Structures are given as structure tokens and as C-alpha cells.
A = this chain, B = another copy of it.
């Protein structure tokens, strides 16, 4: 029984290319005491991995020669731990490999009743929890608020907007294709979505938010953040979560002038999902219910097989994916 793995062949310069990755196959490992041999079902690809390749992410660097990291949903094939038994479905940060050996202590049991297995990496997983923590803990949402979110059709952005909608807010998305914008409105129920590639973002924001932005959830940084900071309403809340605009650079570009924060008496907060693990049970129950009631929709960009993972990751980092990037692992 082999374990197919994707390694980082070389540290990416700028936007990653498929040549930066390498597929290798070796015999699967044997679990020592307290370990699990697993079969990966779905692998999550997320923008923060680019920061790990640059050595800049808080979850640690991925260096040339290393296994690519990332969270996966797996089935336990063999267990030497009494925490899990064969057939259990788990989540673990086991990376881009088909048959990982996982320390039982680092695995999280999953309840497959919550929703389709792949959503446990998306709206019911880390991206969903990120959105949920931001909107319920940091955003101080009030019905009638105008909530703006960038990367609006992605798993974090689409959940941010839908949670805001379910709290009675007006939701304005920012996305980069007509198809993404249409999906956020027609499927996710956003009130409006600005296509920043065909419309000047500042003009779009002025039209969509005539009374200013009450809550801005930022997945992007860069000029998108700047434009939103210029149009904050008094007492606005800004949640800084992602930095897509700078993941592909080694530079730390400057940010918005502090005067925008003072003028709006805004509260700007940094969000890291790892701080909000305690919210997970409540989050899973509520989002699972919303999903089953049809209150929330999700979009996945799913490819088959680990060999396709580098290509999807590169599309993700070029902003060309549409929906949560997941790999269905079939090796």
C-alpha cells in the first residue's frame, strides 16, 4: 500500500507554478502507538499556505523538500489509539498525501451527519469557523448594518455574507468575475456584488453603500482594504483576516493611513481562527442546521486526485478558482 505525497520542490517566487511541486510515491507508514494510519478523502487548499511557503505564516514554514501542508478529511484505516477506531472520520493537518500516519492527539473526530464530507473543510470547517467567529465575536453585527466582504464567493467570504444576511444585514460583496458576483447574489442572497475588474471599486462602494460601510471583513488587504477604509461609516468595525493581495510577494506593502480609522472612530481587529476553537460546537450545530434548511449555499472548486492539487492551488493563488478549493483524493 503506497502513500502518494506532494512535496514543495522549490520555494515559489511570486505566484506559485505547478513546477514548484513534485509528486512522489512511497510505501505507506506503519502507525506506532497512539498513531493512526488514514486514507485521505478530501484535502483543503487555502490561501494561507502561500504564506507558509514564504515562511511568514504563524502556523509555520513549508520549506523546499517538505510535504505540502494543509487540513484533510480522512478515514481511519488502522488505529493503535483508543481515541479512534477503524472507519472513523477525522480531520487532521496531515498535508498533501493519500495515506498519512497521524498522531491521534492531533486528530479531530468529525461527525459526518453535519453535512457532506467536503464541507467539513469549507463552510463547516476552518473557513466557516473563521467567518462565524468574525461575525459573531468581532463584528458587533446589528440588523440593518451594511456589511462588505471581499473574496465574496470564497468559503470565508460567502459565509461572512450569508451569516450577515441571516442577522438582518445588507450585504455587499467584492469579487473578480461576473460569474462569481452573480452567484453571491442569486445563490448566497447578497444584496449586491461589485466586480472590481469591470468597475472602479471606489465608485462601486459609493453606489452600493451610500451611508458608508458599517462592517468590512477583509480577506485581501492591499488596495481593496484601502478603498473600503476610505468609506467607513461612523463607528465601523473592520475585521482583518486575509492578505491575498500580498501572499505572493516578499514585501510588506504599507497599509491605509491611520486617519481613516480616527475619522470613522472605527475598531479594526485582527482575526486568527485558531483563537476561536471553543466556538466550534456552537458553530457546527448552527451552520449544519442552516445548511440543511437551505439557508446557506456553498460553492466548491473540486479536482480529482493529488496530482491535480498543484494546478488547483496555482489557480487559487491567481484568483481563478471559483468556490472552496478542495481535492478529492482517490489514490
Binding site for B on A (CB under 8 A): 58, 218, 221, 225, 240-241, 243, 246, 252-259, 261-272, 275
Chain B residues lying within 8 Å of A255, measured Cβ to Cβ, are: 254-258
| Contact in complex: A265, B259 (CB < 8 Å) | no
In Å, the complex CA distance between A73 and B263 comes to 27
Contact of A261 among B246, B252, B253, B270 (CB under 8 A): B270
| Contact in complex: A261, B265 (CB < 8 Å) | no
Chain B residues lying within 8 Å of A253, measured Cβ to Cβ, are: 257
Contact of A221 among B221, B252, B258, B275 (CB under 8 A): B258
In Å, the complex CA distance between A160 and B246 comes to 35
Contact of A259 among B246, B256, B262 (CB under 8 A): B246
A273 to chain B, nearest CB (A): 11
| Contact in complex: B258, A265 (CB < 8 Å) | no
A22 to chain B, nearest CB (A): 29
Minimal Cβ-Cβ distance residue in B for A236: B270
A51 to chain B, nearest CB (A): 9
Chain B residues lying within 8 Å of A271, measured Cβ to Cβ, are: 262, 265
| Contact in complex: A240, B267 (CB < 8 Å) | no
| Contact in complex: A257, B258 (CB < 8 Å) | no
In Å, the complex CA distance between A66 and B255 comes to 35
| Contact in complex: B262, A243 (CB < 8 Å) | yes
Contact of A262 among B241, B254, B266, B267 (CB under 8 A): B241
